[in-house]
Amino acid sequence: MSIVFIPKIGDHLRKTEGARVDSYSKEEIQEVIALRAAGVSYRDCSRELSRCKGSIGSMIHYYNLQGKIDEAKEKLRLA
């Protein structure tokens, strides 16, 4: 017989309700791409979208948007 340890996470350590990374609309994703391509900081992006700044970085990583941001930067540079 073996003992199985099941950790319990306290309520104060749980993620905030409604702060899911996969809850961004297509319009919000496009806005983040445009803002980051224009050189807007994570902090200012979060203010524009009323999200926490860690959420913006996580969203860029989650949706793998860095390539799209780089393409948008290139288009802005050429324009």
Tens digits of per-residue pLDDT, 12-21? 555 555 555 5
- Give, in order, the Cα–Cα distances in Å from 9 to each of 6, 13, 37: 10, 6, 38
Residue % of the chain over a pLDDT of 70:
75
Confidence category of residue 62, pLDDT binned at 50, 70, 90: confident
Q: What is the pLDDT of residue 13?
A: 53
Q: How far apart are CA 4 and CA 45, in angstroms?
A: 44
Confidence category of residue 70, pLDDT binned at 50, 70, 90: very high
